[in-house]
Amino acid sequence: MKQALIEFLQDVMTEDRKDLMLNILHQRTRYLTVVLEDIFQTQNASAVLRSCDGFGVQDVHIIENRNTFNINPKVVVGTTKWLNLHRYNEKENNTRDALKHLKKQGYRIVATSPHDNDVNLDDLDLNAGKTALVFGTELTGISEVVKEEADDFLKIPMYGFAESLNISVAAAVTIHHLTHKLRKSDIKWQLPKNESDDLYIDWMKKSIKKSDLLIQEFYERVGEKK
């Protein structure tokens, strides 16, 4: 049924559009995911999302404790509709619940912060398993809860007077480096077919005008055949 729906929707798309989507899907990953804890500057928040899309990271987990995560349309330029955004904002402090949820999904928590036992970006072992990269708030970095829950700590080596990078820059550097490293590895980092198909259908829905009516027509046809 799913494959039939895909073929039905593909018929109303141009070949160029279909090929573009399929090529991008082929580069998407959930082996790496990004976690943003209490980011409050819209430009930073939006720049990280744009980097995730640009480097193929499909899921972004957004923790809202004191600060609401707002998106700047001029920065993301539409990229957010191609990502899956997961928000955690039901409690006063949502960090522990978010990280425990990710651990249940098989992710190890890698906090991006200088720490006594940290590893350099280039030395992070991606073979150790699926990785959730946690970036903290602009002013104070990751919280104590993240420090308690983290499996590893990661730092970007610095060689100048600046001790750290702006969060949006740090995220872009980290995501680019690790996705590049992942694609050169033997790790099975691409989306499994069922997830890829689901995402493809979702993207087609967002790309095709009046897609809801087309999908309704598809199911009516299937019902007639039955």
Q: Flag whether 137 is marked binding.
A: no
Q: Flag whether 156 is marked binding.
A: yes
Distance CA 133, CA 161 (A): 25
Strand order of the β-sheet with 119-120 is: 84-88, 59-63, 32-37, 131-135, 108-112, 152-155, 119-120
Q: Flag whether 213 is marked binding.
A: no
Burial class (CB in 10 A: 0-12, 13-18, 19+), 196: middle
Identify the residue whose tokens are 């707002």: 70
Which residues pair with residue 87 across a beta bridge? 62
Q: Residues forming the annotated binding site?
A: 112, 156, 165
Q: Residues forming the annotated binding site for S-adenosyl-L-methionine?
A: 112, 156, 165
